[in-house]
Structure 1
Amino acid sequence: MKHKKIIYGIVIALIFFSSLILIFRYHSINKNKNNLYGVRQEIFIQKNQLIHASNIDFKVNNYKIIKKTDQTTFLVNIELQKTGITNFGFHKNNSNFFENMAVSTTDYSFSMIPNLGSLSNNISKKALEDFTQGRATELQLTFDFPKKLLKTQNNKFKFKFLVPRGKTNSYIKYSLLLE
């Protein structure tokens, strides 16, 4: 009987001290809320609105929606200019903004990144080189949505651009409704 009380006491003490360690660890990890990963804010923008974001200026000049029998294609014309060191993908001085752009349904059921065929041409390579050097860059991105992946025929779409927020590990999501 005495051994059971000692064992129960040890188990309760271990649980208590483990809980204290976990609580202190939780607070130390989450004390700097500005440095958390992920999207911290979503800002809805308009067509032809010039956005001065952290180390990048951009504007969606135009977009076009082409509905076909098997897919819906979105052509988005965007103008970009690098104004400082960019850290896309949380990599220091990474200027590859393509990976931070997507078109998604407004209910977030599905999202598409730019078509790789449209990114591999020489125009896109030149655009990325111009952007890296801080020159104003205009390019057209193509997004293809297969019809079978969409839940309904009346889906609403939006163009998203995740821009790193200064020196933190978070993003600001700039969204443009495509209608």
Structure 2
Amino acid sequence: MALTFEVDPKFDRSLRDGIAALWADVSNAGGAVGFVPPVTADDVRPELVKHLVAIAEGRTRLLVGYDEDGTIAATAFLTRNTHRLMAHWLWAYTVMVHPRHQGRGYGRDLMAAAADAARATEGIEAIRLTCRGGTGADRFYTACGYKEVGRVPGAIRVAEGDDRDDIIMLLPLG
């Protein structure tokens, strides 16, 4: 069964708690979404609040994927650039699919829905994102049509002695 996607859902406590739980579950399963396990929903909540502020300010759109039970199973945050010379592309952040749903094509569905949401955003011509090297995420994004356009060696310190590349990916929407 496919996920059902919603762009800019009404934000309430249930949505906030569902995203925080998803973020913790993805992080604890080894997902490269800004944390290293172990984490709790309370640990990720301050980062989620930053996303919510950007939504309230109109700089960020939220894409949520719901499973057949109506549970939040996937997210992507699409953030406009504030630099006037870069307003024609946006960033995709905190791209996640719950571990219990991985391997079913839901990640590709999420990325297609993100591209559709970006295309529907006036003036947007591309999506840019970064991913952590050594996770295989770059291969996944390449399979979704993204191209590697840059790499900063050792920019992400996962642990002492475990530095990973920060890989910059771009999807032209034309």
Query: Could you say whether these structures have the same fold, taking a TM-score greater than 0.5 normalized by the shorter chain as the test?
Result: no
Please tell me whether Structure 1 or Structure 2 has the larger radius of gyration of its CA atoms: 1
TM-score by length of 1: 0.29
